[in-house]
Amino acid sequence: MKNFTEINYPNNSKIWIFSSSKPLNSNQTEIVSSRLNKFFKNWTSHGKKLKSDFMILYNYFIIVLVDENLFKTSGCSIDLLVKEIIKIEEKLNIELMDKLNVKYFQNKKIISVDVNTFKELIKKNIINHETLVFNNIVNNFGEFKSKWKIPAKDSWLNRYF
């Protein structure tokens, strides 16, 4: 399985992060990898092949990258990616596009909760400003490398403190 240090893409490469509601097991990871490898072999924008790749990290996150220095993604090409992700969701009976599902570290373990539960955990002082969270709204590969795992105070979740 690739990690971001093994992917040689420019920092301005477009990125999408799809976060699973539950950890992927090894069989699910193989299915996701197989489907996305096949999809990326033929992924185009206005007839031009996109330079793209993906990673599955922590068994929760599917990270998709496109080097837009070569060719820009189009609305249609993004729609095709989303349709493929929906097919994966349906096949594996998982949720990958719920933006209100929050992942954070607790005792070196990733915890997945909905945003309302996250707010309750703040009130109970289980989560604080320094709790490391995954910032899935980064826009490019450079931001991913430097701003994906950050303290909650530096993320969009800061509004709940």
**Domain residue spans of the chain:** 9-92, 101-160
Those residues with Cβ within 8 angstroms of residue 48's Cβ, 6 or more apart along the chain or in another chain: 70, 71
Determine the average pLDDT of the residues in 48-73: 94
56: confidence class by pLDDT, cuts 50, 70, 90? very high
Query: Cα separation of 19 and 61, whole Å?
Result: 5
Task: Look at residue 93 and tell me whether its pLDDT is greater than 70.
Answer: yes
Global model pTM greater than 0.85: yes
Determine the average pLDDT of the residues in 16-34: 96
- Give every strand in the sheet of 61-66, ordered side by side: 14-19, 61-66, 52-57
Helix axes 75-92, 26-41, angle to 10 degrees: 150
Determine the average pLDDT of the residues in 141-161: 95
Q: Is 58 helix (H, G, I), strand (E, B) or coil?
A: coil
- Looking at per-residue pLDDT, the higher value among 5 and 24 belongs to 24
Task: Look at residue 5 and tell me whether its pLDDT is greater than 90.
Answer: no
Task: Look at residue 2 and tell me whether its pLDDT is greater than 90.
Answer: no
Please spell the DSSP secondary structure of 87-145, one letter per residue: HHHHHHT-----TTEEEEEETTEEEEEEHHHHHHHHHTTSS-TT-EEE-TT--BHHHHH
4: confidence class by pLDDT, cuts 50, 70, 90? low
Query: Cα separation of 85 and 96, whole Å?
Result: 7
CA angle 77, 53, 138 (to 5 degrees): 80
